[in-house]
């Protein structure tokens, strides 16, 4: 056993106590009455990073909650720079009465640490702080240059983060980013997430008469915007769930056979998934398994629709307007700008007569995939194997983590998504928990990851230490 | 000049002052802070009916605002009984700042009487009270038996009226009903409305997963209820606006050639109508003119639609459910029950996979048409000609007046819709007005109508005086 591993073993209890202290701070970013708690949490973290031996520790203001930064840039030679991202803000806790122990009084039961933020993301972020601390204390050095970027607005959409990264490219320059804010695929199935879907989010506004009309006095003589909108939406896909917008699939990269194979071997229980969602049957694009539909195929979903009278009872209006929020999840190599344009053009081209249709782009993000044979990905696989004693599966995620695209675009750095949560860990729900075994395996994995990354050559668009 | 006509001429100023008094009472039925005003208005009306010489004047309670009843049943012989319906409640007045004079301080400008309720419906109701009064004072008699039924909940959906009629069939027994709550087709075009469309109002509920899902993590694997709903709605009509539900048109009675001809001769300005609605073009069923689409063809309209995230900005949910309010305007001889069943069956039969669809019936009403050669209709035509000095056009109305169906079904009485408003009279809007000339012509028409109805034989399912 190395001295670092030894130190980690000896400090298990202390690490847990320290994490509990962090979890006691109710840093709910969405509630203004917790603004001071969010601030306090940033300062607590800054102190923890300082204690860990990091340098240039700063609590940096944004237009919203502050960002915490720290670094250690003395690895020397050609050693890569690793940017560790996490967030210290948490979700609200309501409904409070469903919690078995208070959300901000961390409690261990059955090997699980229960608290708001235990897994999302304080517990997973803390893993890396403790790994760096152990390495610095035991070896007086780190195998790579390290920067920490910890934000306080992830749970409210990271509104100011991209701007922050753009204004601080030099400070954040890195060869690879590491995020621990995801889950193992299943218990005892350590996982690395190597792909995320991108996003295009649109609002479609359909307008007809200048005000709501009486559906008796006017109905039949003028186009109905809600009906036109329904027709537009129905025209975006065929009955088998395939998007009918010309060009939509043109750049979609086919799955590699080895990916399909690996995913087929994952312990995915379709019946349990169906039950969990509360549906009678699953539904999606023909010719693909559920995981393939979720991870490797683009979607087009209505996120919201409204128009006319939506209260109790009945009101006989012919609505003046109707609206829908529509989004596409994108996969490599789809381009958000191109897809937004294709969708908007198709909608405008096929708009029913008698109404005016406007398509507005809300936001978007690129899909991201780190090839499994990327040297950083191989290093991460070895690290997870060392931390968990079992080699990881490579999975993707259907959602988007916008900061990953920002790192790619603004810093030129690919992101390793190495998560220590579990799908059933109640992130965003009452009784959030982190398995203690995963907390400790996480710290071991982080130490191993920094060591493994110190041994590979990373040739990226990112720069070495400048900050 | 008869003594009645003479009396009407002499009392013009007094009639106007009395109507102003009625209009000063802010009897807004939808606002609970006006409950006492509504009550006061009912009592004011009862006193006015009493003064007019009517008998059995009563303010009768309902579960909501009271009904005012009065009658005079001494016509004798085979003279018919005429039920005069009106409502004494009014719409709210906001936005108040758009009124040029206060809504409850009646003011005459340019020959128009401005006030909330001037045309809808206090002014039009008052016409009949003054007509009966003049006849009773000058002739000590009426040419027909008369009952007044004046409700205080028309502007809030007449929730308790049908029940009231059903419980008071004997009290309300009549051979023909008269309602003045409509408009002339255009200025200087006196009109009788002889047809109304019926109504079927449904709510469609589409349900998918048991809660809103993250559209990234789950999108593509499960049916989207908002999308399914859009598909259902799009499937109800073809692109030319024709309803595709089997059987929907089976009982639709074709227009008579004389109706088409009469309507073609009406001064209907399609360009002005288009401008008024604020649309670029009109849109409706092929092969029919706008008036035919509005008056003689059934419709199917989405009145409201909602589901998922409908706030500002973007939220990536896959909604658990989506809903629509859908209604059909019906024409003779469509049956609301049958159409409701056909729609529900079609929607359930064509429901997309992966969602659960429920169709709930909210309410409905039969279409109504009084044949132009009905003796009461002929009497009404002569009366309008006497009142306005010009024979009326016979028009229909696209909306529904549910009480007309109640009179038909519960009392067996057809309804004469003889209106004195104008389409531009701002009913339900700021600066509501009634042309003073129409007020006086209305009183003359009402006198003539009672006289003309006294001369015809009405064989209906309704009974003579019993109350």
* Dihedral of the alpha carbons of B269, B274, B277, B280, in degrees to the nearest 10: -170
Instruction: Please check whether residues A319 and A407 belong to one and the same domain.
Output: no
Neighboring chain B residues of A296 at a CB cutoff of 8 Å: none
**Chain A contact for B229, CB < 8 A?**
yes
Instruction: Please check whether residues A348 and A384 belong to one and the same domain.
Output: no
Would you list the DSSP string of B4-27?
HHHHHHHTHHHHHHHHHHHHTS--
Taking an 8 Å cut-off on Cβ atoms, the answer to whether A284 and B221 are in contact is yes
Work out the burial of residue B287: count CB atoms within 10 Å of its CB; fewer than 13 is exposed, 13-18 middle, 19 or more buried: exposed
Instruction: Please check whether residues A212 and A223 belong to one and the same domain.
Output: yes
Asked if residue A273 belongs to a domain, the reply is no
Q: Name the residue among A222, A277, A397 with its Cβ closest to that of B222.
A: A277
Work out the burial of residue B59: count CB atoms within 10 Å of its CB; fewer than 13 is exposed, 13-18 middle, 19 or more buried: middle
Asked if residue B281 belongs to a domain, the reply is no
Q: Which residue of A has its CA nearest to B238?
A: A231
Q: Which of B211, B220, B317, B405 is the best substitution to test chain A (most A C-beta atoms within 10 A)?
A: B220
Instruction: Please check whether residues B183 and B219 belong to one and the same domain.
Output: no
Count the Cβ atoms, other than its own, within 10 Å of residue A186.
17
Count the Cβ atoms, other than its own, within 10 Å of residue A271.
8
Neighboring chain B residues of A201 at a CB cutoff of 8 Å: 314, 316
Q: Name the residue among B208, B311, B322 with its Cβ closest to that of A305.
A: B322
pLDDT in tens, A305-359: 999 999 888 888 999 999 999 999 999 999 999 999 999 999 999 999 999 999 9
How confident is the model at residue B272, as a pLDDT? 94
Share of chain B above pLDDT 90, in %: 88
Taking an 8 Å cut-off on Cβ atoms, the answer to whether A234 and B234 are in contact is yes
**For range B393-417, the mean pLDDT:** 93
Distance from CA of A49 to the nearest CA of B (A): 33
Taking an 8 Å cut-off on Cβ atoms, the answer to whether B324 and A229 are in contact is no
Distance from CA of B435 to the nearest CA of A (A): 22
Identify the domain boundary among B365, B381, B404: B365
Distance from CA of A149 to the nearest CA of B (A): 25
Please give the Cα distance from A437 to B76 (Å, whole number). Answer: 98
Instruction: Specify the DSSP element, H or E, that contains A293.
Output: helix A290-295
Neighboring chain A residues of B353 at a CB cutoff of 8 Å: 281, 283
Active site residues of A: 89, 154
Active site residues of B: 89, 154
How confident is the model at residue B312, as a pLDDT? 86
Asked if residue B286 belongs to a domain, the reply is no
Confidence of residue A465 (pLDDT cuts 50, 70, 90): very low
Neighboring chain A residues of B243 at a CB cutoff of 8 Å: none
Q: Name the residue among A323, A329, A353 with its Cβ closest to that of B283.
A: A353
pLDDT in tens, A173-220: 999 999 999 999 999 999 999 999 999 999 999 999 999 999 999 999
Assess whether pLDDT exceeds 50 at residue B413: yes
Asked if residue A182 belongs to a domain, the reply is yes
Instruction: Please check whether residues B243 and B162 belong to one and the same domain.
Output: no
Taking an 8 Å cut-off on Cβ atoms, the answer to whether A281 and B353 are in contact is yes
For chain B, what is the mean pLDDT?
Answer: 94
Q: Which domain holds residue A373?
A: 3-196+367-453
**Chain A contact for B318, CB < 8 A?**
yes
Identify the domain boundary among A365, A385, A419: A365
**Chain A contact for B305, CB < 8 A?**
yes
Q: Name the residue among B231, B280, B398 with its Cβ closest to that of A216.
A: B398
Taking an 8 Å cut-off on Cβ atoms, the answer to whether A314 and B363 are in contact is yes
Distance from CA of A133 to the nearest CA of B (A): 34
B111: left (phi over 0), alpha (psi -120 to 50) or beta: left
Token look-up 């668009």 returns A461
How confident is the model at residue B463, as a pLDDT? 46
Asked if residue A445 belongs to a domain, the reply is yes
Among A309, A363, A369, smallest CA distance to A334 is for A369
pLDDT in tens, A258-307: 999 999 999 999 999 999 999 999 999 999 999 999 999 999 999 999 99
User: What are the C-alpha distances in Å from A27 to residues A88, A122, A180, A235, B84?
Assistant: 7, 10, 19, 44, 68
How confident is the model at residue B200, as a pLDDT? 95
Instruction: Please check whether residues A118 and A141 belong to one and the same domain.
Output: yes
Neighboring chain A residues of B277 at a CB cutoff of 8 Å: 209-210, 213, 218, 222
**Chain B contact for A293, CB < 8 A?**
yes
**For range A438-457, the mean pLDDT:** 97
Taking an 8 Å cut-off on Cβ atoms, the answer to whether B308 and A305 are in contact is yes
Instruction: Please check whether residues B92 and B136 belong to one and the same domain.
Output: yes
Instruction: Please check whether residues A105 and A214 belong to one and the same domain.
Output: no
Neighboring chain B residues of A237 at a CB cutoff of 8 Å: 227
Neighboring chain B residues of A210 at a CB cutoff of 8 Å: 277-279
Please give the Cα distance from A132 to A450 (Å, whole number). Answer: 8
Instruction: Please check whether residues B161 and B222 belong to one and the same domain.
Output: no
Assess whether pLDDT exceeds 80 at residue B457: yes
Confidence of residue B466 (pLDDT cuts 50, 70, 90): very low
Instruction: Please check whether residues B313 and B351 belong to one and the same domain.
Output: yes
Instruction: Please check whether residues B190 and B303 belong to one and the same domain.
Output: no
Taking an 8 Å cut-off on Cβ atoms, the answer to whether A235 and B234 are in contact is yes
User: What are the C-alpha distances in Å from A212 to residues A60, A311, A316, B279?
Assistant: 49, 15, 10, 12
Taking an 8 Å cut-off on Cβ atoms, the answer to whether B303 and A316 are in contact is yes
Task: Give chain B's largest Cα–Cα span.
Answer: 84
How confident is the model at residue A249, as a pLDDT? 98
Please give the Cα distance from B284 to B241 (Å, whole number). Answer: 6
In this structure, the strands spanning A213-214 and A415-418 are unpaired
User: What CATH number is attached to the domain comprising A98?
Assistant: 3.40.630.10
Neighboring chain B residues of A329 at a CB cutoff of 8 Å: 215-216, 219-220
User: What CATH number is attached to the domain comprising A314?
Assistant: 3.30.70.360
Neighboring chain A residues of B323 at a CB cutoff of 8 Å: 310
- The total number of structural domains in chain B stands at 2
How confident is the model at residue A466, as a pLDDT? 40
Distance from CA of B365 to the nearest CA of A (A): 12
Instruction: Please check whether residues B330 and B393 belong to one and the same domain.
Output: no
Assess whether pLDDT exceeds 80 at residue B1: no
How confident is the model at residue B2, as a pLDDT? 86
Identify the domain boundary among A365, A384, A407: A365
Q: What is the DSSP letter of B183?
A: B
Count of pairs with CB atoms under 8 A, one residue in A, one in B: 277
Q: Name the residue among A210, A231, A301 with its Cβ closest to that of B278.
A: A210
**Chain B contact for A268, CB < 8 A?**
no
Contact A112, A34 (CB under 8 A): no
Asked if residue A292 belongs to a domain, the reply is no
Would you list the DSSP string of A153-193?
-GGGT-TTHHHHHHHTHHHH--SEEEE--SB-SBTTB-EEE
Asked if residue A275 belongs to a domain, the reply is no
How confident is the model at residue A125, as a pLDDT? 98
pLDDT in tens, B253-302: 999 999 999 999 999 999 999 999 999 999 999 999 999 999 999 999 99
Taking an 8 Å cut-off on Cβ atoms, the answer to whether A277 and B217 are in contact is no
**For range B203-232, the mean pLDDT:** 95
Asked if residue A271 belongs to a domain, the reply is no
Share of chain A above pLDDT 70, in %: 98
Taking an 8 Å cut-off on Cβ atoms, the answer to whether A363 and B314 are in contact is yes
Residue B152's SS3 state is coil
Q: Which of B195, B297, B304 is the best substitution to test chain A (most A C-beta atoms within 10 A)?
A: B304
**For range B23-43, the mean pLDDT:** 97
Distance from CA of B315 to the nearest CA of A (A): 7
Neighboring chain B residues of A197 at a CB cutoff of 8 Å: 216
Q: Which residue of A has its CA nearest to B331?
A: A216
């Amino acid at each position: 056993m190395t001295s670092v591993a030894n130190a980690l073993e000896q400090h298990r209890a202390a690490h847990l106590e320290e994490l509990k202290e962090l979890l006691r701070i109710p840093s709910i970013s969405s509630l203004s009455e917790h603004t001071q708690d969010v601030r306090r949490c940033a300062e607590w973290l800054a102190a923890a990073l300082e204690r860990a031996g990091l340098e240039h520790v700063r609590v940096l203001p944004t237009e919203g909650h502050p960002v915490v930064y720290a670094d250690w840039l003395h690895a020397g030679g050609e050693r890569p720079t690793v940017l560790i991202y996490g967030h210290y803000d948490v979700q609200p806790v309501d409904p409070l009465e469903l919690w078995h122990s208070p959300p901000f009084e961390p409690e261990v039961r059955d090997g699980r640490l229960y608290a708001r933020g235990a897994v999302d993301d304080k517990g997973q972020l803390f893993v890396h702080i403790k790994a760096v601390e152990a390495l610095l204390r035991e070896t007086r050095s780190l195998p790579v240059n390290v920067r920490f970027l910890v934000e306080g607005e992830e749970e409210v959409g990271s509104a100011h983060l991209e701007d922050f990264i753009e204004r601080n490219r030099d400070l954040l320059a890195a060869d690879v980013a590491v995020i621990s804010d995801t889950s193992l695929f299943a218990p005892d199935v350590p996982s690395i997430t190597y792909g995320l879907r991108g996003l295009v989010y649109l609002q479609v506004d359909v307008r007809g008469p200048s005000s709501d009309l009486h559906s008796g006095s006017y109905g039949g003589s003028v186009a109905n915007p809600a009906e036109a909108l329904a027709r537009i939406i129905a025209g975006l896909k065929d009955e088998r769930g395939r998007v009918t917008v010309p060009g939509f699939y043109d750049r979609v990269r086919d799955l590699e056979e080895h990916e399909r194979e690996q995913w087929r071997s994952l312990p995915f229980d379709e019946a349990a998934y169906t039950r969990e969602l509360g549906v009678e049957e699953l539904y999606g694009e023909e010719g693909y398994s559920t995981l393939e539909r979720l991870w490797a195929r683009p979607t087009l979903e209505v996120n919201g629709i409204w128009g006319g009278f939506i209260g109790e009872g009945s009101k006989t209006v012919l609505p003046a307007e109707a609206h829908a929020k529509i989004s596409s999840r994108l996969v490599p190599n789809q381009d958000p700008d191109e897809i937004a344009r294709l969708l908007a053009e198709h909608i405008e081209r096929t708009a029913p007569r008698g109404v005016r249709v406007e398509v507005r782009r809300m936001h978007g993000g690129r899909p991201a995939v780190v090839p499994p044979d990327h040297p950083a990905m191989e290093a991460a696989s070895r690290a997870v194997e060392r931390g968990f004693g079992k080699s990881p599966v490579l999975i993707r995620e259907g959602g988007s983590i916008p900061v990953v695209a920002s790192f790619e675009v603004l810093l030129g750095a690919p992101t390793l998504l190495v998560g220590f949560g579990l799908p059933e860990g109640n992130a965003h729900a009452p009784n959030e928990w982190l398995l203690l075994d995963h907390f400790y395996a996480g710290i071991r994995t982080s130490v191993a990851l920094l060591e493994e990354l110190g041994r590979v050559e990373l040739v990226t668009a990112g720069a070495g230490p400048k900050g």
